[in-house]
A = this chain, B = another copy of it.
Amino acid sequence: MSFTKLDQLGHKLEALEHALAILGADEATHMAVGGGEKRAEAMAALAGMHHRQATAPEIADWIEAAEGETLSEEQQTALREFRRQYTNMTCLPTEFVERQTTARMRCEQLWRDLRAKNDWAGFLPALEGVIALVREEAAMRAEALGLAPYDALMEQYDPGHRAADITPVLSELKTFLKGFVPEALAVQEERLAKTPLRPLSGVYAIERQRELGLAMMAAVGFDLTHGSLSVSHHPFCGGVPSDVRITTRYKTTEFLSSLMGVLHETGHAMYEQNLPKQWSHWPLGKARGMAMHESQSLFVEKQLGRNPAFWDWALPLVEQHLGESWSKADILPHVHLVKPGLIRVDADEVTYPLHVILRFELEQDLVSGKLNAVDLPEAWDAKMRDYLGLSTIDTPQDGPMQDVHWPGGAFGYFPSYTLGAMMAAQQWAALEKQHPAVNDDVAKGRFDAVTDWRRQNIWSQASRFSTPEIMERATGEKLNAAYFTSHLKERYGA
């Protein structure tokens, strides 16, 4: 039976994915500093084995034959995802992939070096090379998938989202935010004029911060028998569903950003930990995509962790671990601080979407050819001034050179961040409709209803449906910016 062959292949691929995931997490946490070269060699060889096995020509025949077999509904759905994975992995010729990998790696290395030097001119030719290849890639993916070129790129990260559907939603959000950011800043200014920000600036031993983070992780539902918290330079969520590795970094003089980071990664981790175990070796059993994943991390960080009700419960826990007795009036102005800036990864939840929309608009034009890399600094600066009133014309390192995504060739990824933020707000609203007392629960540290809703509507669905389908089934309607704008108005508005 051909489906059985696919099932067996799934087990082999899962083993290689397990090795790659643990080796990757280990590299950033426990590896000796001198172990990198051999680790890179080993991981490249394992990734090569994975790619060869996942793209073998006979798999096309197995999928074809399996489609004629008598399969359960579950197997049929699994088969559809096997086909999706196989198509996405094989639609580019090997020769092209190798050429593209070389160009991306060169551009990324150059970026690491030249961003620090603010050297746009030196960086431009490499970026032009990557963009030329991504245009080729988009055309080939479009052909294979029957999609528009930019949609075909997005399809890798976020199955089912189309520019035609998300553009109006993001436009609505943009229009709202251009008016709302000044309003939120005015509200904040007025409040801080009355009650100045009280610094949260004690010195807190890393071990105590770690214990606080672990206590919060466990309370919101991270399963510590199937995951752990370590330290790394850049926080991440890695590992495998049976052993999810999340990381943070600590400053003894600044506990809040580390703690919020832990909650963010906890959101990612709980999605992985709660995927259906019986499907773990099928593409069907994987998390749906980057937007859905980001909705889960932002759900825990923004909807739960920055929710004022959460701090009713959290402040005594903070006091127990850090020995500080703060009131909500002390901490919420820090938790909700709005501060427009040039750097996306440092942005608050109000201004963050404008960073993403800027990139979404520019990268569509870069892929279509309407915009060329040489014109990026001006185009970026114009939008930055329009959306946030800030200029990057003299600092390309804080403009089009600030992210690794484009040098790395990841076009079509950026929208996931803000789609995730909107999806999280819409999920929260759906949950609140079903459990109107959810904030009372949260204020008491009771997260069961929250977890049950997420398990039933998101985690258990894995890749059964496309991203927009899962959202519609979970919340009863299509993606709607109103939930996110309401959320912002309630938290930051007048």
Residues in B whose Cβ lies below 8 Å from that of A45: 11-12, 14-16
Residue A32 at the chain B interface, CB threshold 8 Å: yes
In the complex, A43 Cα to B14 Cα: how many Å?
11
Choose from B33, B228, B244 the contact partner of A30 (Cβ within 8 Å). B228
Residues in B whose Cβ lies below 8 Å from that of A242: 32, 34-35, 37-39
Residue A67 at the chain B interface, CB threshold 8 Å: no
Q: Please provide the chain A residues from 200 to 241 with a CB less than 8 Å away from any CB of chain B in the complex.
A: 223-228, 230, 240-241
Which DSSP category, helix, strand, loop or mixed, fits chain A's interface?
Answer: helix
| A31 to chain B: closest residue by CB | B243
For residue A11, give the distance in angstroms from its CB to the closest CB of chain B. Answer: 7
Residues in B whose Cβ lies below 8 Å from that of A56: none
For residue A32, give the distance in angstroms from its CB to the closest CB of chain B. Answer: 4
Residues in B whose Cβ lies below 8 Å from that of A42: 14-15, 18-19
A38 touches B240 (CB 8 A): yes
For residue A8, give the distance in angstroms from its CB to the closest CB of chain B. Answer: 10
In the complex, A41 Cα to B243 Cα: how many Å?
13
For residue A227, give the distance in angstroms from its CB to the closest CB of chain B. Answer: 5
Residue A26 at the chain B interface, CB threshold 8 Å: yes
Residues in B whose Cβ lies below 8 Å from that of A92: none
Residue A66 at the chain B interface, CB threshold 8 Å: no
Residue A322 at the chain B interface, CB threshold 8 Å: no
In the complex, A224 Cα to B223 Cα: how many Å?
33
Residues in B whose Cβ lies below 8 Å from that of A35: 226, 240, 242-243
Residues in B whose Cβ lies below 8 Å from that of A16: 45-46
Hey, what's the 0/1 contact readout for A4-35 against B, CB within 8 Å counting as 1? 00000001101110110011001001111111
A23, A35, A45, A49: residue with the most chain B Cβ atoms closer than 10 Å: A35
Residues in B whose Cβ lies below 8 Å from that of A11: 41, 45
In the complex, A15 Cα to B16 Cα: how many Å?
11
Choose from B39, B46, B227 the contact partner of A243 (Cβ within 8 Å). B39
For residue A228, give the distance in angstroms from its CB to the closest CB of chain B. Answer: 5
For residue A65, give the distance in angstroms from its CB to the closest CB of chain B. Answer: 24
Hey, what's the 0/1 contact readout for A28-70 against B, CB within 8 Å counting as 1? 0111111101110111111001000000000000000000000
| A243 to chain B: closest residue by CB | B35
B227 touches A15 (CB 8 A): no
Residues in B whose Cβ lies below 8 Å from that of A46: 15-16, 19
Q: Please provide the chain A residues from 241 to 261 with a CB less than 8 Å away from any CB of chain B in the complex.
A: 241-244
Hey, what's the 0/1 contact readout for A467-481 against B, CB within 8 Å counting as 1? 000000000000000
In the complex, A244 Cα to B225 Cα: how many Å?
26
Residues in B whose Cβ lies below 8 Å from that of A12: 45, 49
In the complex, A49 Cα to B26 Cα: how many Å?
22
Known: A18-B38, A49-B49. A227 touches B32 (CB 8 A): yes
Residues in B whose Cβ lies below 8 Å from that of A33: 225
For residue A244, give the distance in angstroms from its CB to the closest CB of chain B. Answer: 8
In the complex, A14 Cα to B39 Cα: how many Å?
11
Residues in B whose Cβ lies below 8 Å from that of A225: 32-34
For residue A431, give the distance in angstroms from its CB to the closest CB of chain B. Answer: 27
In the complex, A129 Cα to B31 Cα: how many Å?
42
For residue A246, give the distance in angstroms from its CB to the closest CB of chain B. Answer: 11
For residue A148, give the distance in angstroms from its CB to the closest CB of chain B. Answer: 39
Hey, what's the 0/1 contact readout for A438-471 against B, CB within 8 Å counting as 1? 0000000000000000000000000000000000
A26, A31, A32, A41: residue with the most chain B Cβ atoms closer than 10 Å: A32
Residues in B whose Cβ lies below 8 Å from that of A18: 23, 38-39, 41-42
For residue A397, give the distance in angstroms from its CB to the closest CB of chain B. Answer: 31
A15, A34, A230: residue with the most chain B Cβ atoms closer than 10 Å: A15
Choose from B22, B226, B280 the contact partner of A26 (Cβ within 8 Å). B22
In the complex, A38 Cα to B43 Cα: how many Å?
19
Residues in B whose Cβ lies below 8 Å from that of A280: 38
In the complex, A12 Cα to B41 Cα: how many Å?
10
Known: A15-B45, A34-B242, A38-B241. 15 other contacts (CB 8 A): A12-B49, A15-B43, A15-B44, A19-B19, A19-B46, A22-B23, A26-B26, A26-B30, A29-B30, A32-B224, A33-B225, A35-B243, A38-B240, A38-B242, A39-B242
For this complex, 22 residue pairs linking A to B, each with C-beta atoms less than 8 Å apart, are A11-B41, A12-B45, A14-B41, A14-B42, A15-B41, A15-B43, A15-B49, A16-B45, A19-B19, A22-B23, A22-B26, A26-B30, A29-B30, A30-B228, A31-B243, A32-B243, A32-B244, A34-B225, A38-B241, A38-B242, A38-B243, A39-B243
